[in-house]
Structure 1
C-alpha cells in the first residue's frame, strides 16, 4: 500500500475525521489565521526570486 493510500485510508477513519474536524476548528480561529499569514510571509520572503 502506497503512502498516499495509507493517508487516504486514515483520513476516512473515525480518528482521521476527528483530527480533520479539530484542524478545521483551529483554522477558524482568527489568531491562528494571523499566525499562518505571518509564517507564509516569512517563508515567501526567504525564497530567492
Structure 2
C-alpha cells in the first residue's frame, strides 16, 4: 500500500498536478495574493490589533 507521500508525488508528477502547480505559482507572483497572505500571517501572529474576549 503506497504511503500518502507517494500518492502526493505521483499526483504532482501527472498532468493534473502540473496544472495545479502552475496555477499556484501564478497566484504566488500576484501582489494582491501576497498582500492577503501577509495580512493573514500578521493576524495569526497576533499583529491584527486588539483582541476582544
Corresponding residue for residue 15 of structure 2? 14
Q: Which runs of 5 or more structure 1 residues have no equivalent in the other structure?
A: none
* Superposition RMSD in Å: 1.3
TM-score when normalising by structure 2: 0.80
Q: Which runs of 5 or more structure 2 residues have no equivalent in the other structure?
A: 48-53
TM-score when normalising by structure 1: 0.85
More helix by share: 1
| Equivalent residues, number | 46
4+ residue runs of structure 1 moved beyond 4 angstroms? none
